[in-house]
Structure 1
Amino acid sequence: MPDSPDHPPRLILASSSRYRRELLERLRIPFDVVVPDIDETPLAGESPETTALRLAEAKARAVAGSGAGAAARTLVIGSDQVATYDGLQIGKPGTHAKALAQLQAMRGRDVLFHSALCLFDSGSGTAQAVDVVTRVRFRNLPDTDLEAYLLAETPYDVAGSAKSEGLGIALLEAIDSDDPTALIGLPLIALTGMLLAAGYPLFGTR
């Protein structure tokens, strides 16, 4: 059946992140979630931008190549985020101790967040990809404030150990980005542009 506003391509979010799922729900379009099975370890000598873009596309292609992406035409969204300062990559801390160490290292400094996005079209076998960069300046706060924040919000599953959509905004002095949703994990301005370019009926009229 050809695509139409009544029968759009199937949309899949290739992610285990509840934050990305919540962001995509803002668009009020139907989608499924499939968790990709890939190795997310950065390669030796790989730049943060390259890591983020490579993993975003790998996630989308992994799901598109599985049984989940076997429909006549499926659009698969892959995304990955890498934070960096002084050339060092900052991942998800996983534990309280590692999160505290991250925040201590970043306080009073500028940190770049690379939020890569890929939209893979199974119908054409093509991928659109972009890296949206957000510059974040962290406040120079004492350990007591950092500890209190971590205990309040437990942001151990986000790169950089701070949730800007919650209390973590108090850790930040400034955010510089073309897309306010990029820092949370899924750049919606870039994504909606990709979906429109792929002919997806975001407004039910295409």
Structure 2
Amino acid sequence: MAHPRTLILASTSAYRRELLTRLQLPFDVVAPDVDETAGPGEHGSALALRLALAKAHAVATQHPDAVVIGSDQVATVNGRTLGKPGNHARAVEQLRLMRGQTILFETAVAVVCRASGFERSAVEPVEVTMRDLGDAEIERYLQLEPAYDCAGSAKCEGLGITLMTAIRSADATALVGLPMIRTAALLREAGIDPLASDAGGGR
């Protein structure tokens, strides 16, 4: 028997999509129309949590019977928020700023179902310590792996792991973009259990 509620990921991120497939649940992907500009004095977990909820609600409004997952990640180093660099020059700037430093990545996840009135959210912190990178290493890394679509300009699931000395978290998948331990727990609360006999299997 198919699960009574559709599962939707409110994100176009390939990283989040890949992570969610690990639960072997059928799901749809819908892009949320959300302004991600931070408010005055808003940063860190507060910003990540607000945007995760905004993304989930934006899609849930259009699909009220579905269970919708929203997520957002904010990276902070020395009080400065790091977004996606978008180009080579900004990526170099970010990696220079991060070298030898510990960066706090805060990844929020929200699960919403309008029909049932369900709404839960959580933030998973991850601390990443970077090596004291030389300029040549930074340039070489970005040549081999141009991580311009990642906050912090480095992919821990790829070659970017060589730039790091430590990752500290209760859930390492949070660094990739979606904290899967917490996501699975919230989905169970919402009535979707990947291990239930009627979960539907993966796509």
Classify the TM-score, shorter chain. Answer: over 0.9
Runs of 4+ with >4 A deviation: none
1:43 aligns with: 39
1:95 corresponds, among 78, 87, 103, to: 87
1:149 aligns with: 141
Q: Does 1:135 align with 2:127?
A: yes
Q: Does 1:20 align with 2:24?
A: no
Counterpart Cα distance in 2 of 1:188 and 1:54: 19
Deviations 1:140-185 (A, max 9, x none): 0101011111111110001110000000000100000000100000
Judge conservation of contact 2:83–2:152 (CA < 8 Å) in 1. yes
Equivalent positions of 1:8-87 (< 5 A) are 8-66=4-62, 69-70=63-64, 73-87=65-79
Identity %: 51
Q: How far did 1:195 drift?
A: 0.7
Deviations 1:83-116 (A, max 9, x none): 0012211000000000000000000000000101
Judge conservation of contact 2:109–2:123 (CA < 8 Å) in 1. yes
RMSD: 1.1
Judge conservation of contact 2:118–2:190 (CA < 8 Å) in 1. no
Counterpart Cα distance in 1 of 2:151 and 2:93: 13
| TM-score normalised to structure 1 length | 0.93
2:3 aligns with: 7
Equivalent positions of 1:116-135 (< 5 A) are 116-135=108-127
Gaps of 5+ in 2: 199-203
Counterpart Cα distance in 1 of 2:104 and 2:138: 20
2:194 aligns with: 202
